[in-house]
Amino acid sequence: MNCWEFFCRIRRSVWFVFFDTYIGRLTQILLLDKRKGAMTVAKVYVFDHPLIQHKLTYIRDKHTGTKEFRELVDEVATLMAFEITRDMTLEDITIETPVSETKSKVLSGKKLGIIPILRAGIGMVDGVLKLIPAAKVGHIGLYRDPETLLPVEYYVKLPSDVEEREFIVVDPMLATGGSAIAAIHSLKSRGAKHIKFMCLIAAPEGVAAVEQAHPDVDIYIAALDEKLNEHGYIVPGLGDAGDRLFGTK
């Protein structure tokens, strides 16, 4: 399924909204799903900021070496996190400047947690932490069962206050959606109620799968690619993100 087929397929049941923000142009897709008599809204944000797209070009390039690849993934994660956190809650406090007393704003509400899906998701963590250094980091490890092809959870380590945090699950690629769906389910089963998913590149098939499984989770994407090939790789994609991040094959 290519991007055009994906949009044509869902156009009958979704509402498209296009708008500009200070981080650049975003395409917001509001996916409406009626369940249990209520309407659940999942939002998919596709970034079009020039810096993100410029860096993504070199991330995709097969000639980009491991060091530069890591640095670029880190930089794009920071740029994306800037927009993803725009809805964080603020409260007024009173402070004293060197000149006078004044009211100003600080963050309040739920604290943030970052959850990389092992192993490639690790490459995006530092980029988010540069923006929010106080965020806690958990880890979810998954592998694909060779017989069922379903994701199997082999490692989970989360902050102790899961129910009190808003989580950003990070993984460079959203291909079939299996790992993202399993990681989000793992968080929810442990009490998490506020979750966002962030990736660099997604296939339409993966977006549709996550939306169907978790319609309450917003999805943030640097680029929505054409399709999956017969091997489950995103086309044109960037290859195996984990191998390129860690210099393995």
pLDDT, one tens digit per residue, over 29-85 is: 544 343 344 344 558 999 989 999 999 999 999 999 999 999 999 999 999 999 899
- 176 annotated ligand-binding residue: yes
Give the pLDDT confidence of 217-248 residue by residue, as tens digits.
Answer: 999 999 999 999 988 889 999 999 999 999 99
Query: Which pLDDT does position 42 carry in this prediction?
Result: 58
Determine if residue 127 is labeled as part of a ligand binding site. no
Annotated active-site residue in 126, 240, 244, 248: 240
Please pick, among 86, 243, 244, 248, the residue that the annotation labels catalytic: 243
- Of 78, 126, 144, 216, which is the active-site residue? 144
Q: Does pLDDT of 118 surpass 60?
A: yes
78 in a known ligand binding site:
no
Active site residue 225: no
* Helix or strand run (H / E) with residue 226: none
- Active-site residue flag, 240: yes
pLDDT band for 249, please (50, 70, 90 cuts).
Answer: confident
> Does 121 appear as a known binding residue?
no
Q: Is 65 annotated as a binding residue?
A: no
Residue 23, Cβ neighbours under 10 Å: how many?
A: 18
Report pLDDT for 17: 35
* Known active-site residue 148: yes
Choose the catalytic residue: 148, 161, 165, 244. Answer: 148
Cα–Cα distance for residue pair 122/20, rounded to 1 Å = 30
**Is 144 an active-site residue?**
yes
> What is the C-alpha to C-alpha distance for residues 214 and 231, in angstroms, rounded to an integer?
25
Whether 15 shows a pLDDT value over 80: the answer reads no
- Tell me the angle at which helices 50-60 and 66-84 cross, rounded to the nearest 10 degrees: 150
Q: How far is Cα 197 from Cα 164, in angstroms, rounded to an integer?
A: 18
Q: What is the spatial distance between Cα 112 and Cα 134, in angstroms, rounded to a whole number? A: 8
Q: Does the annotation flag 179 for ligand binding? A: yes
Neighbours of 161 (CB within 10 A): 12
CATH of 13-89+107-246, one of 2.40.30.10, 3.40.50.970, 3.30.70.890, 3.40.50.2020: 3.40.50.2020
Structure tokens at 226: 């054409």
Residue for token digits 């393995």?
248
Q: What was the pLDDT predicted at 20? A: 38
